Amino acid sequence: MRILLTLALACAAHAYGGDTTPPNVLLIFIDDLGYCDTELYGCDTVPTPNINRLAAEGVLFTDGYVSSPVCSPSRAGLLTGRYQQRFGHEFLPSTQPGSTHGLPVAEVTLADAMKEAGYVTGMVGKWHLGSHENFIL
């Protein structure tokens, strides 16, 4: 429900401008990236012209916090909008063959909420939320 409210807020903000087309949503989640590891936030490090353009034409968040210092639990928390400890995903899932550890399939994710709202969703990159076939998109 919280995820749907967030999506509704984004759509309402877009609609306020008079456009009835739902906004495109791009979520970039990067593990272990420091605040000044790119030029996006004014640092003289790795050039990121395309990311800079996305931020200039969209929304740039200047403060962000994760609910875990480890990639898989923080990713699970972000995608569900819940503290991952509430559904047993506070540790890295095992990647051993046949392991059934991972993001519980009963959890509603941001992708589920967006599909329900009529969006087409996709994911590129590292999944790391379980390697059993039940967890693969």
Identify the residue whose tokens are 């970039």: 28
Q: Catalytic residue among 14, 43, 89, 128, which?
A: 128
Identify the residue whose tokens are 């076939």: 133
Q: Is 71 a catalytic residue?
A: yes
Q: Is 128 a catalytic residue?
A: yes
Closest CA to 26 of 116, 95, 110: 110
Q: Catalytic residue among 71, 89, 101, 132, which?
A: 71
CA pair distance 127, 108, nearest whole angstrom: 16
Which letter does DSSP use for residue 38 in this model? B
Positions annotated as catalytic residues are: 71, 128
